[in-house]
Chains A and B, each alone.
Chain A
Amino acid sequence: MSHPNPPRRWARRALIASTLVVGLVGLSACATDPGGAASDDRELDLLIPAFPASWDARATSGFYLTAQLLINEPMVALAPDGSFVPTLAESVDQPDLSTYVYTLREGVTFTDGSPLTVEDVLYTFDLHSAEGTTSFMARYMAGIESVEATADHEITVKLAAPDPEWPYTIARMGIVSAAYYDEHPESVGTPDVPQLGTGPYTVESISAGSKLDLERNDDYWGAKPEYDAINFEAPADDNARLLALQSGEYDAILQAPLSQLSSLTSIPGYNLTEVPEVATYRISMDVTKAPFDDPAVRRAIAHAVDREAMLEAALSGHGTVSNGIVPAELLIGLGEAQPVEDAYESFGDSLTYDVDAAAEELAASSVPDGFAVEVLVQQSDPAQTLMAQILAQSLAEIGIDVSVSQVDDNTFLSRLYLDKTGDGLVVFSFNAGSAEPANMARSAFTAGDFGNMEQFTTPAITEALQAYKSEEDDAARQALLLQIFADANAEVPYVPVFHPSVAAVVADDLEVKDFTSFWWASRIDEIIVPTA
């Protein structure tokens, strides 16, 4: 009888196996805790909702910019208080409404030691505006007529028409190194080729898709940045985010999910900062699609939307019910409060929750017996589903049969925006791309824009949007925007429901300064500062 495996070998294997188990346990026991109270050693550990697929300058927008702009500084930055601060540009001249002359600061270097030149700025413009670019900012760059180096350190940008959005666009455009991009075609921003910039912070390490560690740029031309390091993490799971904060290893959650605020704020040692977001949840009706092409149907639906209930159910009240698709405060910021308040109050007349009125409107419409409609909502945003369910209940009372379909973002966008194959009724959430007061209005009323889910515009509105661009007087701008919203309100293409809050939950030993809806467009180390 052969014995290819003598009994002892089994024993030996068992020994190896148990050693491995002991090793694993030992690994945990000898572990040292790398975290701790971050502000003591002047590190800032932040949780943000998500990471971009790549840190290429073209692939970042919105809150991704909070990290991107620390690495790649813009020529002019948006300060947390809303003012513009020259950074890589020493000065900006505006000889006429559509021309900007930027004088570059001298002696600025990228973190690899190479000097910043006009070539880098021109290259960055080209990255975002070249034909076929993948840049998130391409639409904002579309108005450029020419960008030229007009002197050694001078760049002149001519726009085809005046654009109040331009300074905000420039403040979101971090300057990249042309030489570095040439050296690594199509791979800058990946873990192996991290971004290179002139900013106050530089990439220390990236672990793909889950962590980005920045360290202070010791050769930064400006004032020494507050923190030695700023580290970003983006847990995909709600529970993980909650536990992460509970562990005490993180200093703040930015853009905290509103549904989790009550749990997050119950953690001792953290404070909540909550401000209105320039964003709107609205019920959109595609005015080109039957039966929503009938104003009576749209009016019926407007009366069937229980906005208070939706805010409570979807966001536990962390928001404000609104009569307009932009927060009134944004318009008040341009001038007097009274005209805005009066206008918003009058918009409310068509938005009262009144099922009887809704039934009456529907009876007088082209579909008196009701109809069936599929409402698409984004899976990624549970608030939309809750709102759609409340809407379905109210509409059922007047004979409209709503089926709610949760789809992923890509399906949602392609069906509603590209292919227009939706049924015409959508629970839509849309936020401003910049702090420019007309940003949302422009998107909501421009034909073909994603923000114009209703496919609604009128010649008067288009004209007013155009006039806004060359209007320099803030009060007049306010009047133009109010006129646009009044025109739209009269046709009821949408039902504004509420503006959500934007929230940050921050450790007690830190202070939050000037937190706004556009916190990501300014330096986070100037927004979250150690308590004096």
Chain B
Amino acid sequence: MSAPAAISAASETGVVASQRRPKARRSSTGIVLRLILTRLLTSLIVLFVVTFVIFLFVHAAPGGPELALAGVDATPEQLAAIRAAYHLDDPLVLQYFRFISGALGGDLGASITMREPVITVVSRAATSVTLPLIVMAWMLSVIPGVTLGYLSARKRGSITDRVILTATILGATAPVFAVGMFVSYVFGIQLGWLPFLGAGDGGLDTLRHLVLPAVTIAVVLLASATRVSRVRFIQVIEEDQYTFARARGLSRSYLWTRVVLKNAAVHLITWSGSLVIGLIAGLIIVEQIYGLPGIGTLLIKAIGSRDIPLIQGITLLIAIGVVLINLVVDLLCIWVDPRIRKGMEVER
């Protein structure tokens, strides 16, 4: 990642002139395109390495999909026939080549145990559960987190500040499964507001089923969201530009939106992007707790049954997702901070 703190250390509200390299003035489109291209190229290498390492891990693990497919009553001949049908006895290099050439053509093969194309299985799990859950959890952590960070930065050292920090830290120190239990017991059973098992019947019903899982993730992430934004807001407040803007008699709302929030934006966007990536690990647990048929549950099942194409497909798509999130973060930063798109970025 770029160094967001350095990027936003200066602002455009009058102190731009203090930039170290104001001379670089390439066209914005060129810079953006170059950035996207570099990102995509490095991503390709990352993806290649990821698929290869996962491929080796899967093959190094004892067992194979034939046991999951035919069960313990399977005869040795039956197991051998299945291995042959799925080319599991071919040399590893050949198997990897087959996977990679398929993947390059957009074909990730079919799940051995689920009897459906990997793309179908994964996109169903992603669109029906995991993506909406990520978006919801992200919103529920970032929006209140930044709001709380804003409040406590504004009233630094006050009782409000202390209460906010203590409460969010309490949430962050609780393990995800404990929060899940608590949240589903209180809101699912005692209050009976929301369902806490399964993903519902699609549409609005699924969204209802995703609220408690999203809240569970958000409770855990809220502390870091609050802390990161609070620290960043305070940093900006302590900068000369803030004092200067204040001295000019600019309104309070102007100060907070144009000076503080805007200067903190690049940092917060970069951080919230990494938050989404960090979410993925927590998602697996949350999906298990709430019985959600999302990517995490799918991955656990795939590993358990050694469903090689499915494991490969899921990990590849997660890796692609991470790459895309990073790209989106970069583009958002460019959009928010004109210095980057004008090539005035420092310490990249």
- Min CB distance B101 to A, Å, is 22
Does chain B have a CB within 8 A of A83?
A: no
Are A237 and B289 also in contact (CB < 8 A) when A140-B73, A208-B121 are?
Answer: yes
Is the CB–CB distance between A413 and B257 below 8 Å?
no
Q: Which of A21-29, A343-351, A473-481 contacts B (4 or more CB under 8 A)?
A: A21-29
* B-facing residues in A135-192 (Cβ within 8 Å): 135-140, 142, 186-187, 189-192
Most buried by A among B71, B81, B289: B71
Does chain B have a CB within 8 A of A234?
A: yes
Are A208 and B261 also in contact (CB < 8 A) when A142-B75, A411-B62 are?
Answer: no
Does chain B have a CB within 8 A of A20?
A: yes
Does chain B have a CB within 8 A of A247?
A: yes
Is the CB–CB distance between A410 and B113 below 8 Å?
no
Give the chain A neighbours of B143 by CB distance below 8 A.
Answer: 17-18, 20-21
B293's partner among A5, A54, A208, A239 (CB-CB below 8 A) is A208
Is the CB–CB distance between A31 and B298 below 8 Å?
no
Does chain B have a CB within 8 A of A210?
A: yes
Q: Which of A108-116, A126-134, A216-224 contacts B (4 or more CB under 8 A)?
A: A126-134
Is the CB–CB distance between B199 and A414 below 8 Å?
no
Give the chain A neighbours of B193 by CB distance below 8 A.
Answer: 28-29, 31
* A-facing residues in B308-348 (Cβ within 8 Å): 336, 338
- Min CB distance A438 to B, Å, is 15
Does chain B have a CB within 8 A of A235?
A: yes
Give the chain A neighbours of B71 by CB distance below 8 A.
Answer: 61, 136
Does chain A have a CB within 8 A of B208?
A: yes
Are A234 and B63 also in contact (CB < 8 A) when A24-B211, A240-B196 are?
Answer: no
Is the CB–CB distance between B298 and A209 below 8 Å?
yes
Is the CB–CB distance between A190 and B114 below 8 Å?
yes
Give complex CA distance A33, B191 in Å: 12
Give the chain A neighbours of B289 by CB distance below 8 A.
Answer: 237, 239-240
Q: Which of B164-172, B229-237, B299-307 contacts A (4 or more CB under 8 A)?
A: B299-307
Does chain A have a CB within 8 A of B184?
A: yes
Give complex CA distance A246, B79 in Å: 43
Is the CB–CB distance between A53 and B140 below 8 Å?
no
* B-facing residues in A405-423 (Cβ within 8 Å): 407-411, 413-415, 417-419
Give the chain B neighbours of A31 by CB distance below 8 A.
Answer: 193-195, 208
Is the CB–CB distance between B192 and A33 below 8 Å?
yes
Is the CB–CB distance between B189 and A246 below 8 Å?
yes
Give complex CA distance A31, B298 in Å: 28
Give the chain A neighbours of B185 by CB distance below 8 A.
Answer: 243
B67's partner among A138, A140, A414 (CB-CB below 8 A) is A414
Are A53 and B301 also in contact (CB < 8 A) when A136-B70, A138-B70, A207-B293 are?
Answer: yes
Is the CB–CB distance between B125 and A208 below 8 Å?
yes
Cβ contacts A55-94/B at 8 Å (1 or 0 each): 0100101000000000000000000000000000000000
Are A408 and B304 also in contact (CB < 8 A) when A133-B78, A246-B189, A247-B189 are?
Answer: yes
* A-facing residues in B258-303 (Cβ within 8 Å): 258, 261-262, 288-293, 297-298, 301, 303
Is the CB–CB distance between B61 and A190 below 8 Å?
no
Give complex CA distance A61, B70 in Å: 10
Is the CB–CB distance between B197 and A410 below 8 Å?
no
Does chain A have a CB within 8 A of B31?
A: no
Give complex CA distance A11, B261 in Å: 11
Are A5 and B197 also in contact (CB < 8 A) when A11-B257, A139-B73 are?
Answer: no
Instruction: List 27 contacting pairs A-B, 8 Å CB cutoff, sorted by A.
Output: A1-B12, A20-B143, A21-B140, A21-B143, A31-B195, A56-B115, A59-B113, A132-B78, A133-B78, A138-B73, A139-B75, A190-B114, A205-B201, A208-B124, A208-B125, A210-B198, A211-B199, A234-B291, A235-B291, A236-B291, A243-B185, A243-B188, A243-B189, A408-B303, A410-B62, A410-B64, A414-B63
